[in-house]
Amino acid sequence: MQTHDAKRVEITIEQVMLRRLTEALETADVTGWSVLPVLGGSGRSGNWSRDGQISRGTGMVQVVCLIRPDKLDALLDAAFKVVERHIGVVCVTDAQVLRAERF
């Protein structure tokens, strides 16, 4: 089956910042992503869990974007502006996708 080179970018970010991130992605002309829930985790700012969460201030989500390799830099720049002062991590992997015309 014919596949095409792509990049898979996974951005783990605070839920309160999600709208700002997706707006930045749209500005950077990235139009496809999926948001996955994160149950809990650990990092430099300690560990947390979504259980019984009632505060809107905490909690993270994972945004997965599949993009054409040449769009990577624009995406990372856009994402970085949002996560820069915030907690969260960005991870890029090489990938292959079907139906390249979608990206």
Ligand X SMILES: Nc1ncnc2c1ncn2[C@@H]1O[C@H](COP(=O)(O)O)[C@@H](O)[C@H]1O
Stretch of residues binding another protein (CB under 8 A), selected from 24-32, 65-73, 79-87, 89-97: 79-87
Q: Which does 56 bind (CB under 5 to 8 A by kind): a second copy, ligand X, another protein, none?
A: another protein
Q: Are strands 46-49 and 60-67 parallel, antiparallel or unpaired?
A: unpaired
Contacts of 31 (CB under 8 A, 6+ apart): 25
| Size of the residue set binding a second copy (CB under 8 A) | 45
Q: Which residues bind ligand X (CB under 6 A)?
A: 12, 32-34, 38, 41-45, 48, 60, 64-66, 87-89, 102-103
> What Cα–Cα distance (Å) separates residue 40 from each residue in 14, 47, 50, 59, 79?
11, 7, 6, 7, 22
- 95 closest CA partner among 66, 73, 71: 66
- Residues forming contacts to a second copy in the complex (CB under 8 A) are 1, 3, 6, 8, 10, 12, 22, 31-44, 47, 60-62, 64, 66, 73, 76-77, 79-80, 83, 89-99, 102
